[in-house]
Chains A and B, each alone.
Chain A
């Protein structure tokens, strides 16, 4: 069934959007990730303008973030102080990201730059995840626990504006969580990904946070950064399509239920290996598009 999207101003088969939402919901249910890295490229692949795909994806990240953070909050696994400082950086990163997005759109290189950003991000995260999960599958000990013994690098400990974060038992410069938040905000507003892949290792290895608090805190931060990004895209570029968001979220709700059920069967390191391969698969697909001769040498861009 075709449905006309009021902001994207195009007709799309609604079952495809719903299935995409359900698939990403399933993935997030199994692996506990937001799934933005899959939704945005797949929406663009379906012909949704990249601005609308990125703008709308922000609201889906809010939904998956809220659903994820509730559980951590109930168990007290959210450090609101670190989260709030990260949020400050996140807002700033979002502003810079929205500006950067408009700039590359103006240059006519949006597809290239978004592809390169995706390839670098997914390639590095995918390799790291694969390495970590294979390592832990054989050693029965995760790299996280190995690395967690390391304290923050000396350069970071010398940064100014030090603050105490009692919940995480940290005494570190506010610039560190702020900087991590900045990167997250930038990713949400330019690529439509929450950046959980990047935030979690950064918070463990750079900030030195206890792994128990990391997932909840990063989700807390992603919710508000994504909400801010949605606000920016909706007001500056009018690129948030509520109709698209509703069907993506609806599919996501149902997919997530099946994902959680399926996660009983695929657990631990094996699940992370599958996820790493999935991430690398998307990365490889984008790299092929960038490096192999395209089927169409000419591209049409309207309204610049």
Chain B
């Protein structure tokens, strides 16, 4: 029921709006925020959309907050395994996923998708890279980065399946694992026809800690001295309590 309601609202909005508003492409996100509570175990970003023209390609890309990532290759030094060679990827998304309405695309469309950073390889090839001098096989490091992110559920291996309710209406669900970063997620959607982007939208979704979690996180960052004092006081109090309760052998 929870998932059907947004679909019904979305379809109803088209019934009302479509006669006067003749856009080729509409995309709606079911919820604009994801609340990270104490019991958060992951969530989904649910996107509904409509394309007027069946003979088009729809591409949707979700990018989480960005950070720098270093992939280290271990090597033996004096018998111990140490982080030896590195490739540093500047400013890449902590979460990244995408969905395409069709996979059987022409070379020109593939290049267009890559240009817009759609697809794992395309996203990484746009990143600024630094590496230790002796690294030759950059692709190996890229593969490892993707593998680790996919294993953690933060990237998807071959994108997410786009489900069509009929030839025009579609639905995509991107899974957000519990380990996904908080912050703003950018959702870019493209309508492509004859190897050209004919329409595109950008939406924003925020994944944020709420309630007690938000209070703790904000206190730790904005009032770190008071937060530290509270932690220390709590520890002192617990220690004292243990000494009072202690069972004498």
User: Which residues of A line the B interface, CB within 8 A?
Assistant: 1-4, 6-7, 9-11, 59-60, 62-68, 70-71, 108-109, 111-112, 116, 223, 227, 230-231, 234-235, 238, 240, 242-243, 245-246, 249-250, 252-253, 256-257, 260-261, 263-264, 290-294, 297-304
Q: A7-B217, A243-B216, A261-B247 are in contact. Are A66 and B235 (CB under 8 A)?
A: yes
**Minimum C-beta distance from A223 to chain B (A):** 8
* CB–CB B39/A3 < 8 A: yes
**Minimum C-beta distance from B233 to chain A (A):** 9
Q: Which residues of B contact A238 (CB under 8 A)?
A: 220-221, 224
* CB–CB A67/B243 < 8 A: yes
Please measure, in the bound complex, the distance between the C-alpha atom of A64 and the C-alpha atom of B241, giving whole angstroms.
10
Please measure, in the bound complex, the distance between the C-alpha atom of A230 and the C-alpha atom of B232, giving whole angstroms.
7
Known contacts A66-B240, A108-B72, A227-B236; 16 further A-B pairs (Cβ under 8 A): A2-B40, A2-B41, A9-B179, A10-B179, A231-B225, A231-B229, A234-B220, A234-B231, A235-B228, A242-B216, A242-B231, A249-B234, A257-B246, A290-B80, A300-B70, A300-B72
Please measure, in the bound complex, the distance between the C-alpha atom of A234 and the C-alpha atom of B220, giving whole angstroms.
7
Q: A4-B213, A6-B220 are in contact. Are A65 and B239 (CB under 8 A)?
A: yes
Closest B residue to A294 by beta carbon equals: B81
Q: Which residues of B contact A223 (CB under 8 A)?
A: 236, 239
* CB–CB B94/A302 < 8 A: yes
Q: A2-B178, A294-B81 are in contact. Are A235 and B232 (CB under 8 A)?
A: no
Q: Which residues of B contact A1 (CB under 8 A)?
A: 39
Interface-centre pick from B71, B83, B235, B248 (highest chain A CB count, 10 A): B235
Q: A9-B182, A234-B227, A297-B73 are in contact. Are A4 and B245 (CB under 8 A)?
A: no
* CB–CB A253/B235 < 8 A: no
A-B contact pairs, 11 of them (CB 8 A): A4-B37, A11-B42, A59-B234, A66-B242, A67-B240, A108-B83, A245-B234, A249-B234, A263-B249, A294-B74, A300-B144
Please measure, in the bound complex, the distance between the C-alpha atom of A298 and the C-alpha atom of B39, giving whole angstroms.
32
* CB–CB A260/B243 < 8 A: no
B67 within 8 A of A: yes
Closest A residue to B228 by beta carbon equals: A234
**Minimum C-beta distance from B150 to chain A (A):** 12
- Name A234's contact: one of B88, B224, B243 (CB within 8 Å): B224
- Name A7's contact: one of B39, B220, B249 (CB within 8 Å): B220
* CB–CB A249/B71 < 8 A: no
* CB–CB A260/B247 < 8 A: yes
* CB–CB A63/B235 < 8 A: yes
**Minimum C-beta distance from B133 to chain A (A):** 15
Q: A67-B243, A291-B79 are in contact. Are A10 and B178 (CB under 8 A)?
A: yes
B174 within 8 A of A: no
Closest A residue to B74 by beta carbon equals: A297
